[in-house]
């Protein structure tokens, strides 16, 4: 027997229409390159996103055509997030931190037809324009300067709308967005988000036990809109009609804190790199900024060290630690203390929050070693595999990558994890970063997080290097806080109190900075190359 409910497609146009109709007066604020603030309301956003859809159709784009964006976080990118899919096309966000040759590869692989680019990013476009075949390049005049000859002014393009736009009848499984993973090895791989997956992801992300996004919130995504859809925040915020604030290209701690105060931001999101800086700025000048009490900061993309969670707590800022990937749209797990663990001692409670968390509804997890699922005992390590309605089932035009998907329908994340009996996922490493010493695995992330809890340490990365006797042994690369001093013996002793003796790194090196990927994660392959000829004493 079938249910008697309507067949109602889950498409982004529903979110756009609702926002225009119900939340017309809510503001969208964007920091422009010259530091000034651009303000308008959902009413303007709705009109302009529809005009963009209209103009794209009038310019000859067809269902499923890809429109690339090379943009910072701001109002026009938000318009593309909704306007492009509303035309039946696919918004393909390009990572502006990649090498020009990689961007060209991605544009060509995705067969992008149009590109929307910030005027301030035209110098980057110049570096790959001869390697791609775009039919039209539309320039957003953020700096109000003239648009180069041969390119289209975004504002003029919007004016070319016919005014007779009607939403196409979209199937919820049609592609709406696209993003290439910024992996540290191999060619980038394209993930294609459907309308349905983005809508379901938004519904889940807004839930109280997820990021708890509501209409009363003011949301500032620091995470770039070219990285896993800024973790879906622009979609979810628009769904609930929250005020949205975009930092543009200004991501320095002071600039962010200024926006938090000025716009009374209640929720922000980004990678730990950003929060290290914000936390330090706040600790150095605790009186300077007047932030909304209870400001929530979603931290993901890399592990949120316990010391960071505690540091923000002391300032009245609540860290929400979450795990996800480009392939999971990205929300997979969120860490909060379950009710039957409410009375655990404070240390244990922080330990839980520093884990990656429990799966959100409809994301299923398992940890697999060899062919067998390992028990949820909080100790057994295996590869984390996930499945769910917003988890990729394949990559775009990349049949060779099928080994990332299991024959029984799970996605192999490449992360190594334990799962506790209560269902908390704890990422211990990337598979390729695991250190194997004397036949036993050592988890680098646990030690990094512990090191980053030492008062003198700003950042730490632990890598495995070849060892004649043990196969591999750990080396810790440590960045000390400004003006801090600390000896190797001190760090060794500090770790020895917390870990088995054979886990403690044999070598410590002090660096000025840890190399990072375009997404701000530790680039351990670069460290391994740098220290590949290391000789153990
Ligand atoms: P990306 O697809 O670029 O977003 O990268 C996804 C990867 O980032 C995951 O596979 C993890 O290795 C890492 N990651 C994301 N969130 C976390 C987290 N909360 N803790 C540890 N690693 C994370």
> Can you give the CATH number for the domain in which 427 is found?
2.30.38.10
Q: What is the pLDDT of residues 396-440, one digit of tens each?
A: 998 777 789 999 999 999 999 999 999 999 999 888 888 988 878
Distance of CA 67 to the CA centre of its chain: 21
Question: From the CA of 325, how far away is ligand 1's center (Å)?
Answer: 6
Predicted pLDDT at 420: 98
145 secondary structure, DSSP code:
P
Average pLDDT over residues 520-532: 90
Looking at 377, 412, 431, the residue that finishes a domain is: 431
Q: How far apart are CA 255 and CA 246, in angstroms?
A: 11
Q: Is 430 in the pocket of ligand 1 (CB under 6 A)?
A: yes
Q: Is 302 in the pocket of ligand 1 (CB under 6 A)?
A: yes
- Identify whether 536 is part of a domain: no
Tell me the pairing of strands 331-334 and 358-359: antiparallel
Residues 6+ apart with CB under 8 A from 482: 458
243 within some domain: no
Which residue from 260, 254, 295 is spatially nearest to 277, judged by alpha carbons? 254
Q: Is residue 12 a contact partner of residue 86, using CB atoms and an 8 Å limit?
A: yes
Pick the range with the lowest mean pLDDT from 153-167, 393-407, 483-497.
393-407
Task: State the pLDDT at residue 185.
Answer: 58
CB atoms within 10 A of CB 159: 10
Give the up-direction half-sphere exposure of residue 236: CA atoms within 13 A in the CB hemisphere: 32
Among 128-132, 344-348, 361-365, 468-472, which is the least confidently predicted range? 468-472
Q: Taking 70 as the threshold, does the pLDDT of residue 183 lie above it?
A: no
Residue position matching structure tokens 């993309």: 301
Which residue from 326, 427, 433 has its CB within 8 A of the most atoms of ligand 1, so it is best to mutate? 427
Ligand 1 pocket: which of 183, 319, 324 to mutate (most atoms <8 Å of CB)?
324
Please state which of the ranges 188-197, 339-348, 520-529 shows the lowest mean pLDDT: 520-529
State the chain's mean pLDDT as an integer.
Answer: 95
Nearest-atom number in ligand 1 for the CA of 327 is 2
Q: How far is the CA of 286 from the centre of ligand 1 (A)?
A: 30
pLDDT at 122: 97
Establish whether residue 303 lines the binding site of ligand 1, counting it when its CB lies within 6 angstroms of any ligand atom.
yes
Ligand 1 and 272: CB distance under 6 A: no
Asked, for residue 132, whether it belongs to a domain, the answer is yes
Is the pLDDT at 389 greater than 90, yes or no?
Answer: yes
Question: Is ligand 1 within 6 A of the CB of residue 356?
Answer: yes
User: Do 70 and 82 have their domain in common?
Assistant: yes
Confidence check: pLDDT of 329 > 90: yes
Do residues 124 and 159 both lie within one domain?
yes
The residue-averaged pLDDT of 474-503 equals 92
Q: Reply yes or no on whether the pLDDT at 80 is more than 90.
A: yes
Same domain, yes or no: 421 and 477? no
Q: 67 CB less than 6 Å from ligand 1?
A: no
**What is the domain count for the chain?**
3
326 CB within 6 A, ligand 1: yes
Q: Which residue's CA is the closest to the ligand 1 atom numbered 20?
A: 303
For 446, the enclosing helix (H) or strand (E) is helix 444-451
Task: Kindly report, residue by residue over 238-256, the tens digit of the pLDDT.
Answer: 999 999 999 999 999 999 9
Ligand 1 test: best mutation among 211, 229, 302, most atoms within 8 Å of CB? Answer: 302
**Could you read off the pLDDT of 102-139 as tens digits, one per residue?**
999 999 999 999 999 999 999 999 999 999 999 999 99
Over residues 62-73, the pLDDT tens digits come to 999 999 999 999
Question: What confidence category does residue 537 fall into, taking pLDDT thresholds of 50, 70 and 90?
Answer: confident
Does one domain contain both 156 and 80?
yes
Residue closest by Cα to atom 9 of ligand 1: 325
Last residue of a domain, one of 387, 408, 431: 431
Task: Identify the residue whose C-alpha is closest to ligand 1 atom 7.
Answer: 325
Ligand 1 centre and the CA of 272: distance in Å? 11
Residue of the nearest CA to atom 5 in ligand 1? Answer: 325
Joined tokens for residue 249 = 């290209």
| Same domain as 390, residue 407 | yes
Q: Are residues 424 and 464 in the same domain?
A: no
Same domain, 521 and 376: no
Q: Are residues 406 and 445 in the same domain?
A: no
pLDDT of 507 above 60: yes
In a domain, 131, yes or no: yes
179 Cα to the center of ligand 1, angstroms:
15
Range of the domain at 170: 12-26+39-196
Please report, for residues 261, 266, 284, 312, the alpha-carbon distance to residue 287 in angstroms, rounded to integers and kept in the order given.
Answer: 12, 18, 9, 15
- Cα–Cα distance for residue pair 430/409, rounded to 1 Å: 21
Q: Is the shortest distance between the CB of 98 and ligand 1 below 6 Å?
A: no
Q: From the CB of 256, is ligand 1 less than 6 Å away?
A: no
Same domain, 18 and 153: yes
**114 located within any domain:** yes
The candidate with the shortest Cα–Cα distance to 523, out of 481, 480, 488, 477, is: 477
Calpha distance 507→535 (Å, rounded): 10
- The tokens of 321 are what? 């630690």
pLDDT at 216: 98
Give the separation between CA 188 and CA 190, rounded to whole angstroms: 7
Nearest alpha carbon to residue 476 among 507, 445, 452: 507
Report the CATH number at residue 140.
Answer: 3.40.50.12780
Return the structure tokens found at 515. 């190399």
Q: Name which of 32, 28, 59, 64 is nearest 44 in CA terms.
A: 28
Residue 383 CB–ligand 1 contact under 6 Å: no
Nearest Cα residue to atom 1 of ligand 1 = 325
Assess whether the C-beta atom of 181 lies below 6 angstroms from ligand 1. yes
Asked if residue 330 has a cis previous peptide bond (ω within 30° of 0), the answer is yes
Q: Are residues 53 and 191 in the same domain?
A: yes
* Environment class of 80 (CB within 10 Å of its CB; exposed 0-12, middle 13-18, buried 19+): buried
> Do 77 and 19 share a structural domain?
yes
Last residue of a domain, one of 391, 411, 431: 431
Q: How far apart are CA 483 and CA 327, in angstroms?
A: 40
Which atom of ligand 1 is nearest the CA belonging to 299?
Answer: 19
- Active-site residues, by number, are 181, 327, 436, 441
For 358, the token pair is 């429990």
Q: pLDDT by residue (tens digit) across 210-219? A: 999 999 999 9
Q: How far is the CA of 61 from the centre of ligand 1 (A)?
A: 35
The answer to whether position 71 is within a domain reads yes
Residue 320 forms part of a structural domain: no
Complete DSSP assignment for 50-64? HHHHHHHHHTT--TT
* Beta-strand relationship, 411-419 and 382-387: antiparallel
Nearest CA to ligand 1 atom 8: 301
Please state the atom number of ligand 1 nearest to the C-alpha of residue 321: 19
Q: Which atom of ligand 1 is nearest to the CA of 183?
A: 3
CB-count burial class (<10 Å; 0-12, 13-18, 19+) for 85: buried
Cα-to-centroid distance, 449 and ligand 1 (Å): 15
**Integer Cα distance of 537 and 530 in angstroms:** 18
**Pair 370, 453 in one domain:** no
**Any ligand 1 atom below 6 A from CB of 300:** yes
Q: What CATH number is attached to the domain comprising 506?
A: 3.30.300.30
Determine, yes or no, domain membership for 385. yes
422 Cα–ligand 1 center, Å: 21
Angle among Cα 512, 516, 520 to the nearest 5 degrees reads 120
Closest ligand 1 atom number to CA of residue 414 = 10
Model confidence at 184, pLDDT cuts 50, 70, 90, reads low
Interacting residues of 430 by C-beta distance below 8 A, sequence separation 6+: 414, 415, 416, 524
């Amino acid at each position: 027997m079938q249910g008697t409910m309507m067949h109602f497609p889950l498409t982004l146009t529903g979110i756009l229409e609702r926002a225009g109709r119900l939340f017309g007066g809510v503001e969208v604020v964007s920091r422009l390159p010259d530091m000034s603030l651009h303000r308008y309301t959902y009413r303007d956003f709705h009109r302009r996103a529809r005009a963009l859809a209209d103009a794209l159709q009038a310019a000859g784009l067809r269902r499923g055509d890809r429109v690339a964006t090379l943009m910072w976080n701001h109002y026009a990118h938000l318009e593309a997030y909704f306007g492009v899919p509303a035309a039946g096309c696919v918004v393909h966000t390009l990572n502006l931190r990649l090498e020009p040759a990689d961007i060209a590869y991605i544009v060509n692989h995705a067969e992008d037809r149009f590109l929307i680019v910030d005027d301030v990013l035209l110098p980057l476009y110049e570096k790959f324009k001869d390697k791609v075949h775009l039919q039209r390049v539309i320039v957003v005049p953020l700096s109000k300067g003239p648009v180069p000859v041969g390119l289209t002014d975004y504002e003029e393009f919007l004016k070319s709308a016919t005014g007779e736009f009607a939403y196409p009848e979209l199937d919820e499984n049609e592609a709406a967005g696209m993003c290439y993973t910024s992996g540290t090895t191999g060619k980038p791989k394209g993930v294609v988000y459907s309308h349905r997956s983005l809508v379901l992801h938004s519904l889940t992300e807004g839930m109280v036990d997820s990021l708890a996004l509501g209409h009363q919130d003011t949301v500032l995504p620091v995470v770039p809109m070219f990285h896993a859809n800024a973790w879906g925040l622009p979609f979810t915020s628009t769904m609930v009609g929250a005020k949205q604030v975009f930092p543009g290209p200004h991501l320095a701690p002071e600039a962010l804190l200024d926006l938090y105060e000025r716009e009374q931001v209640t929720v922000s999101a980004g990678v730990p790199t950003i929060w290290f800086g914000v936390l330090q700025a706040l600790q150095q000048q605790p009186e300077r900024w007047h932030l909304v009490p209870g400001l929530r900061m979603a931290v993901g993309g890399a592990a949120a060290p316990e010391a960071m969670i505690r540091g923000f707590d002391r300032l009245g800022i609540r860290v929400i630690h979450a795990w996800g990937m480009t392939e999971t749209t990205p929300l997979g797990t969120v860490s909060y203390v379950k009710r039957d663990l409410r009375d655990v001692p404070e240390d244990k409670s922080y330990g839980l929050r520093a884990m990656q968390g429990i799966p959100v509804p409809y994301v299923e997890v398992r940890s697999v070693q060899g062919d067998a699922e390992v028990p949820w005992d909080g100790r057994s390590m295996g590869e984390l595999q996930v499945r769910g309605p917003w988890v990729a089932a394949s990559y775009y035009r990349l049949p060779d990558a099928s080994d990332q998907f299991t024959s029984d329908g799970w996605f192999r994340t490449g992360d190594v994890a334990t799962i506790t009996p209560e269902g908390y996922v704890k990422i211990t490493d990337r598979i390729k970063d695991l250190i194997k010493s004397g036949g036993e695995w050592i988890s680098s992330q646990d030690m990094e997080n512990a090191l980053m809890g030492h008062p003198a340490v700003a950042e730490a990365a632990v890598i495995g290097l070849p060892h004649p006797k043990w196969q591999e042994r750990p080396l810790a690369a440590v960045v000390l806080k400004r003006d801090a001093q600390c000896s190797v013996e001190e760090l060794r002793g500090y770790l020895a109190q917390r870990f088995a003796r054979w886990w403690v790194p044999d070598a410590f090196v002090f660096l000025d900075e840890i190399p990072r990927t375009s997404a701000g994660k530790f680039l351990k392959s670069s460290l391994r190359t740098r220290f590949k000829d290391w000789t153990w004493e």
